[in-house]
Amino acid sequence: MLVFRNAPVAQRDALTAEQLKNVSKPWQDWIGSIAAQDKLASIGGRLEFDGATVTGSIVTDGPYAEIKEILLGFIIVKTATKDEAIQLAKECPVLKDGGSVEVRGVVQMG
C-alpha cells in the first residue's frame, strides 16, 4: 500500500477547473504508468480533509490539529518486494509538493 501525506493546503474545492486539471494530470499519468505495468491492485482514492477519531467513547474532530500532515489517499500496488514498491513511490507527484509516500505491506487475512 502506498499512502500519500502532505502538509495541509487550500482545499481542492477552491481551485479553478484549469488548476484542478494541472494538479490531477501528474497523478493520472503516474497511476496510469503503474497500471500499464500491471502493478495496480486497487485505487483507494482521495480522502476528504475533515474526519473524526473514535477512541473508546470519545469522538474528536479531525484532521488531527496536533499533526502537521494530512492523509491524502492511498493505492494498493502489486509488487514482489518492498523495494519494488519503493521504486514506484519515488515517482509519486506528492513528492514534488514536499509530501511523502508511506510504503506498507498489506497482511492477507484468513
Residue 108 placed within a domain? no
pLDDT tens per residue across span 22-63: 888 999 999 999 999 999 999 987 777 777 778 788 887 765
pLDDT tens per residue across span 91-103: 999 998 888 999 9
Structural domain for 89, as ranges: 2-103
Residue 51 placed within a domain? yes
Give the N- to C-terminal CA distance of the chain in Å, as an integer.
19
The answer to whether 4 and 71 are in contact (CB under 8 A) is yes
Looking at every residue in the chain, the average pLDDT score rounds to 84
Instruction: For 12-52, give the DSSP string.
Output: GGGS-HHHHHHHHHHHHHHHHHHHHTT-EEEEEEEPPS--E
The answer to whether 95 and 7 are in contact (CB under 8 A) is no
**Separation between Cα atoms, residue 36 and residue 66, nearest integer Å:** 39
Q: What's the CATH number where 97 sits? A: 3.30.70.1060
Total count of domains within the chain: 1
Residue 72 placed within a domain? yes
